[in-house]
Amino acid sequence: MKRLIKKQVLIPILALAVLIGASSFKSDFFEIAKQIEIFTTLFKELNMNYVDETNPAELMDSAIKNMLGELDPYTQFLNEQDVESFKINNSGEYSGIGALVRSYENKLVVVEPYQGYAADKAGLKAGDEIIKIGETLVADFDDNAGELLKGANNSTVEVTFLRQGETKTATITRQGVEVDAVPFYDMIDDKTGYIVLSRFNRKASKQTKLAMQDLKGQGAERLVLDLRGNPGGLLSEAINVTNLFVPKGELIVTTRSKVKKFNQEYRTKNKPEDEEIPLVVLVDGKSASASEIVSGGLQDLDRAVIVGARSFGKGLVQRPLKLTYGTQLKVTISRYYTPSGRCIQSLDYWNRDAEGNAVRNTNFNEFTTKNGRKVWDGGGVMPDVTIESLKTNSLIDALEANNIVFDFATEYFYDHSFDSVENFNFSDADYALFKSYAKEQNFSYQTKTEKLLEESVNGDDTLLGAEVQEKYKDLLLAVNRGKITALDNFQKEIQKNLEDEIITRYFYREGLYKYYLNHDDAILTAKELLADNNKYSSILK
């Protein structure tokens, strides 16, 4: 037992030693060494003397996660499994069942089976709740049970799942899964090409380039690049994708850090694929990191018109640092800045509110693009043309966080049928059903107004008197009634999320993108804008 404890203690010592070696601030060395010694002594004495048997590995994992939780959500400790997942995300290849799953305490929920892959062939559907994998109950598995679904090509795994209250089983033969960076591209009309870039793995620039070449061969004279929902990925691929549209030697990103070697300028290195083709880039609140490097860079260089909603606002750069025993520390090393010099980081993790939440930047600084247009930092990439249906708010976020849209789509799928995506129609009557469903779920969310009112009513300050406090309570009731009305006020935004989720159930991701070509507000706006050369040029000038 003591030998195990010593081995576990060595891990954080060696890990932190890496950080010490990387630090150029010698004045901090003594303080770091002092804290390591205190922690090592505490950890040893705790495990040796605690009244019950301890699990040193679990204690250390908890200690590390809580320590890193004081920083930002992107600085993470990666165990051996996490490191493997990190590699898969970057390479876009792995072996498993071919489905996106969401992990809960006692189940895994299938979010999306990939068309033609193992889970899809075995008949799994979005909304299926996996409760058992092989002989292992998901509820009894301490780690991420989703890892049990991965395995060697042609190996089999039996899963037990719940569907609409009925218990079912399926035997799935695992296979190699290739996660494309460009899952779809097509012509919007006879002159306008459309490319979906869903992630920045190692295939991103190559697949985008091939899609461009194919579309231009089909007659494309203008292009729409869709980065909506793209969470980012490799910085190098963001540079390479931008390079497809801008000349060699163009500055795209500057990174600044307290560590001198991480201060770098990133310029394009290759001949562009096409630096003249009119280009619209689509973004939304889930376009982050590398997506913002591409959209922000193209905006600053006046190379593309940005259409959609404000992007996520992640202006922080991470790098994996190798630790001992195959583990890594993914650490935020710098902030990145677009060609105009702006950092689009939205949340301030180093100045938190009274509840410990990161504060959103509200004071924006003005910058200018290559042509002298005004742009701002600190709040994501702001589109040149805004699409109202892509905006989000606390209600929409709460519907998503509570899985109201997802769960309704599951119910809807089993109660309706469509033979083709062209015949899909989500009517006002369907939306009325959704409103009734949402109200029945009793999901809760708190607006900023409601929060301030509650703090006033429940605070210690009674100077306002009972009558005023009663008025406050009446106002709170009015706010709650307003929440219900908000389901009508934001029907367009909510209905888009519903349609996206439901169409994917019937016709997979490819069917959704085909539906977009003729029905999506952002694509239709981009198509119209690109067809009007004067309007397109006037935005960039």
CATH code of residue 224: 3.90.226.10
Same domain for 342 and 409: no
Residue where the block lists tokens 């939205």: 346
Q: Is residue 277 part of a domain?
A: yes
Position 12 pLDDT exceeds 70: no
Q: Which range has the worst mean pLDDT, 27-31, 37-41, 107-111?
A: 27-31
- Among the options 198, 205, 287, 289, which is catalytic? 289
Cβ distance 339 to 297 under 8 Å?
Answer: yes
Same domain for 230 and 309: yes
Same domain for 380 and 399: no
Q: Is 300 considered catalytic here?
A: yes
Same domain for 200 and 269: yes
Residue 446 vs residues 318, 395, 495: alpha-carbon distances, Å: 32, 9, 21
Identify which has the larger pLDDT, 508 or 95. 508
Average pLDDT, the chain: 89
Q: Is 330 considered catalytic here?
A: no
Same domain for 157 and 130: yes
Same domain for 153 and 65: no
DSSP output for 323-369: -STT-EEEEEEEEEE-TTS-----EEEEEE-TTSPEEEP--PPEEE-
Position 495 pLDDT exceeds 70: yes
Q: Which of 143, 178, 213 is the last residue of a domain?
A: 178
Position 206 pLDDT exceeds 60: yes
Q: Is residue 445 part of a domain?
A: yes
Same domain for 115 and 48: no
Cβ distance 309 to 387 under 8 Å?
Answer: yes
Please give the backbone phi and psi of residue 351, each rounded to the nearest 5 degrees, phi first.
-135, 90
- Among the options 125, 314, 330, 527, which is catalytic? 314
pLDDT band at 461 (very low <50, low <70, confident <90, very high): low
- Among the options 300, 377, 384, 520, which is catalytic? 300
Give the pLDDT mean for 243-253. 98
Quote the domain boundaries for residue 252: 184-386
Strands 192-196 and 222-226: parallel
Same domain for 195 and 302: yes
Q: Which of 162, 178, 194 is the last residue of a domain?
A: 178
Q: Is 439 considered catalytic here?
A: no
Same domain for 212 and 168: no
Give the pLDDT mean for 225-232. 97
Position 15 pLDDT exceeds 60: no
Rounded to an integer, what distance in angstroms lies between the CA atom of residue 158 and that of residue 134?
5
Q: Is residue 13 part of a domain?
A: no
Rounded to an integer, what distance in angstroms lies between the CA atom of residue 354 and that of residue 360?
14
Give the pLDDT mean for 305-332. 93
Q: Is residue 156 part of a domain?
A: yes
Residue 527 class from Cβ within 10 Å (0-12 exposed, 13-18 middle, 19+ buried)? Answer: buried
Instruction: Tell me the pTM.
Output: 0.87
Q: Which of 342, 360, 386 is the last residue of a domain?
A: 386
Which SS3 state, helix, strand or coil, does residue 439 take?
Answer: helix
Identify which has the larger pLDDT, 284 or 475. 284
Give 210's contacts (C-beta < 8 A, 6+ positions apart): 182
Rounded to an integer, what distance in angstroms lies between the CA atom of residue 305 and that of residue 533?
12
Position 224 pLDDT exceeds 70: yes
Position 403 pLDDT exceeds 70: yes
Same domain for 235 and 174: no
Q: Is residue 528 part of a domain?
A: no
Half-sphere CA count of 87, side-chain side, radius 13 A: 11
Looking at the 3D structure of the chain, how many domains does it have?
4
Q: Is residue 88 part of a domain?
A: no
DSSP output for 104-171: -SS-EEEEEEPTTSHHHHTT--TT-EEEEETTEEGGG-SS-GGGGG--STT-EEEEEEEETTEEEEEE
Give the pLDDT mean for 17-36. 67
Same domain for 293 and 378: yes
Same domain for 320 and 271: yes
CATH code of residue 142: 2.30.42.10
How many Å from the N-terminal Cα to the C-terminal Cα in the chain?
70
Rounded to an integer, what distance in angstroms lies between the CA atom of residue 207 and that of residue 422?
27
Q: Is residue 321 part of a domain?
A: yes
Strands 93-96 and 328-337: unpaired
